[in-house]
Each structure stands twice: as C-alpha cells, then as structure tokens.
Amino acid sequence: MTLFKGAATALITPFKNNDKIDFEALENLVNFQIDNGISALVVAGTTGEPTTMTHAERTSVERFVLECTKGRIPVIIGAGSNNTHTAVEYAREAEDLGANGVLVVTPYYNKCTQAGLIAHYTTVADAINIPVILYNVPGRTGVNINPDTALKLSDHKNIVAIKEASGQLNQFMSLAPLIEGKMDLYSGDDGLIYPLMALGAIGVISVASNIIPKFISELVGAYFDDNLSLSRDMQFKVNPLISALFSEVNPIPVKCAARLLGLCDDYMRLPLTKYSKENELKKTLKDFGLKLT
C-alpha cells in the first residue's frame, strides 16, 4: 500500500510566547500546506518537537490536525520511541485517532542491534492495522537500518515504506534494488530529493516545505512528469535555502523562517533555543524570492 506519492511536510508545531500550543496558527499552517499542493502531512515527527510536549499535548495536536485536514490528504503521525512499549502506545493511539499511517523512528540513546530493530518494528507493526513507515536517521539516533534489515522488515504486511535520511547515497543505492516492489522509499533529506528520486524514491518527507510547500511539491511533480531538467534545476535553486534551514538543529531555523514569513511565532521549548543567524537567513529567504513580513 502506498500512503502517498509526492511531497509530505514534516509539520512544525507553533507555540505562543506563553508556551502554549498556537492552534490558530496550526490550522493556518495545515491549510497553507494543502492549498499549495502538499500530498501528505507528518505530525509529531522530529520537526514537530514531540519530545518536549506532554502526551496530552501530543494527542491534542494530532487530533486537531486530523480535524483540520478533514480527509483532504493523508495524515501520518510520528510514533517513535526508544521504548518499544511506548511506541506501541503511540501507534495504537494514532490509529484510534484516525491517522492514515505512522512514522516510526529507530530507537535512540539506548539504541539496539539489527535484531533489535527487527523485533522493535515487528512489535509495533503487529499492534496496529494501519501502515508503518520506517524512519532511518542515524545522525540523530546513532542507529542505522541496514539494507538487509529493511528487506526483512518489508515482509511485514503493515510495513510499507522507509524514510531514508542517512545522507549516504551508497546506502540508498544498496537499499533501493533490494526492496523494489516490496516497500516504498522516501527521501528524508531536502538536499537530496532529486538524486534519491532518480534512485527509486517516490517522494520526500520535507522540512523545507513548511515554508515553500508549492516549490517542493512542484520539484517532485516535475520529476514524475518526466521534466527531469526542471526538477534538477529546482533542486539546484533550493539547495542554498536548504543549507540555511539546516545550519542549526532542526527545527530551529525553519521556525525562524516561518516567523519571518508571517506563518507563526518561532518560540522554541528548551533545550532548543532561538536561531542565532537571523540576518543571514533573511538574506537567503530574499535571495530565494520570498517576501518577508
């Protein structure tokens, strides 16, 4: 089962300066994404800062986005944890809320072996009846899903895709032919959308699309419309902006950009702090052609 083909946004969570979730801004963000061609939304992923929200806050954000979306596009909820039982709880709750699927990051900090990854993901996938996307981001978690492990997991009926954010083209080149026809692949790196589609990805789960959803959607769309030169040129054009958006820990820069564009405040919950290179980011946004508020 393919959850989506195209560009999905790893949605930021806007907070007010009083530390409360800004639901008005969140609704505007959801509609901004849908109105500009985004194919799916990922809620409570890394970019959404779920690790600094209470369980009740996470649930309220997830429920609210599902209500705002009204079935117009798929909503995928982050259900990752380094505690397998907690990941199961998050995944079951996502299913109960009406999510179209879950995104499950590899266990972090305590980490595990490849056998542990198979057991972890199998336990989560066995507990629900909605699709699971594996999320491989070893730079954050310290754990890599090896291609052979992904192949084994692809045999599970509920494990339908992998978000590959290792940044290693060699890994992707090993992975893609192994799981072709068994599991969908998504780029987890905004700077590698075009090359990963050339190697078999059917889209991206993007951070940059929080602020430029139409551009990222069109970059992906051009590729699948066989306008490869346009898609490639769009990747070249956006890469300086992407570099700026990852010049500090995500989602610090993209939330600053969202404020500069009038989308929401850039309040961050500790240990994340405000962006330290705002003037440089302003110039990059202007150079890209965006109008600041």
Told to judge if 121 belongs to the known catalytic residues of this protein, a careful annotator would answer no
**Pairing outcome for strands 75-78 and 40-43:** parallel
**Known catalytic membership, residue 70:** no
Residue-wise burial string across 149-165, b where 16 or more C-beta atoms lie within 10 A, e elsewhere: bbebbbebebbbbbbbb
Residue from 23, 75, 52, 9 nearest 264 by CA: 23
Which among 163, 194, 255, 275 is annotated as catalytic?
Answer: 163
User: Token pair of 261, please?
Assistant: 């564009």
Which secondary-structure segment (H or E) carries 197? helix 193-198
Taking CA atoms, 46 is separated from 12, 105, 248, 252, 287, in Å, by 9, 9, 14, 11, 28
Identify any residues that bridge with 203 across adjacent strands, giving them in sequence order.
Answer: 6
Q: How far apart are CA 205 and CA 78, in angstroms?
A: 12
Which residue is catalytic, options 90, 121, 135, 275?
A: 135
Catalytic residues, which ones?
A: 135, 163
